[in-house]
Homo-oligomer: A and B are copies of this chain.
Amino acid sequence: MSKTIRIAVLGASGYTGADLVRLALTHPHVEIAALSANAKAGQPMADIWPHFAAYPELPPLVTADEIDWAGIDVVFGCLPHATSAALLSGLSGPRIIDLSADFRLDDADSYARWYGTAHPAPQLMTKAVYGLTEYAAEELPDARLVACPGCYPTAALLALLPGVDAGMISPERISITALSGVSGAGRGLKEANLFGEVAEAVHPYGLSGHRHMPEIEQELGKRAGRDVRISFVPHLVPMNRGELETITVDLAEGVTAEGLRTAMAQRYAGAPFVHVLPEGKAPATRMVRGSNHAVINVFPDRIAGRAIIVAAIDNLVKGSSGQAIQNMNLMFGLDQTAGLTQAPLFP
């Protein structure tokens, strides 16, 4: 197949933008046409990213305004929330894959409450396809605007939707403990991201409410057909990449952990990136580092009638840039694995 997709990446000075470029570099059908970062415009990627030191041929960073949209097939929005919607809503040419939070929620009030600002383009909120790839395959081919899920929702929903859809787990009393590497917090200059704060240390955060919580609740609610409220506690772990969620759930009457595990394995039988592990094998982030894979498993809980579901992804790949490319592949009629075949990096 000889199709070439010309892409633009808005916000290529952030981690998600950079990881998108990393993956796009070896995608057989992608040409990187433009890279923007307003605050770094004029600089080569090799100057702001160490891992592109050997890639002086990458397009230099420009401002978003400088991009010539003619001939751009798809734009990836890797910008902060609100900035993203404001900018993308004005584009008419290219198809849009947004990695920010702006088109994930359907409800403008909820957005305003959680993100502290009015949505810049509320009319688009319900038009976006929610790009959890394994659940969006039918909508993606025709999608003009795709909202890529947050990293925590990606792992949570991959772990929970098979059971919720099948009525095997209750949407009540879902309790999610999440562990994330520090790249989830971005490359911003915050004390909390310094090596000295993060290394040799763990702590929970967002205990008063995390923005990925309403997103998970929204998607679970859609499937369950009623309002859902979850418990969600993310933790910062001293590693760069990787995200692991340990979820305890109430099983429906008569359902066992093993039954749920079997149903989940069937659900993902054809999914190239979602792997239900053999019985008893615990998911670990080192199984997926740098790759688009997700690994999941189900275990019986010691409290009767409950099960433990564990899921691991690379937050920057399946949790962000990799899933964005997986979505692009389906939007453009490619095999969904195109450009995403790299095996995880270990050690």
Residues of A participating in the B interface, judged by any CB pair closer than 8 Å? 15, 18, 21-22, 25-26, 49-55, 173, 175, 177, 179, 181-183, 187, 189-191, 193-205, 207-209, 213, 229-233, 235, 237-242, 244, 246, 248, 273, 275, 277, 280-291, 293, 295, 299, 301-304, 306, 308, 310, 312, 341-347
A244 touches B194 (CB 8 A): no
A248 touches B175 (CB 8 A): yes
For A287, list chain B residues within 8 Å (CB).
50-51, 53-54
C-alpha gap A26/B54 in the complex (Å): 21
A199 touches B240 (CB 8 A): yes
The residue in chain B whose Cβ has the minimal distance to the Cβ of A21 is: B343
Whole-angstrom distance from the CB of A60 to the nearest CB of chain B?
A: 14
A-B contact pairs, 13 of them (CB 8 A): A18-B346, A51-B286, A51-B288, A175-B303, A182-B194, A182-B196, A183-B196, A197-B286, A197-B347, A201-B239, A202-B244, A231-B308, A241-B345
Whole-angstrom distance from the CB of A280 to the nearest CB of chain B?
A: 7
C-alpha gap A346/B183 in the complex (Å): 10
The residue in chain B whose Cβ has the minimal distance to the Cβ of A347 is: B196
- Beyond A51-B346, A179-B179, A342-B26, whether A238 also contacts B241 by CB under 8 A is no
C-alpha gap A235/B202 in the complex (Å): 12
For A175, list chain B residues within 8 Å (CB).
175, 248, 303
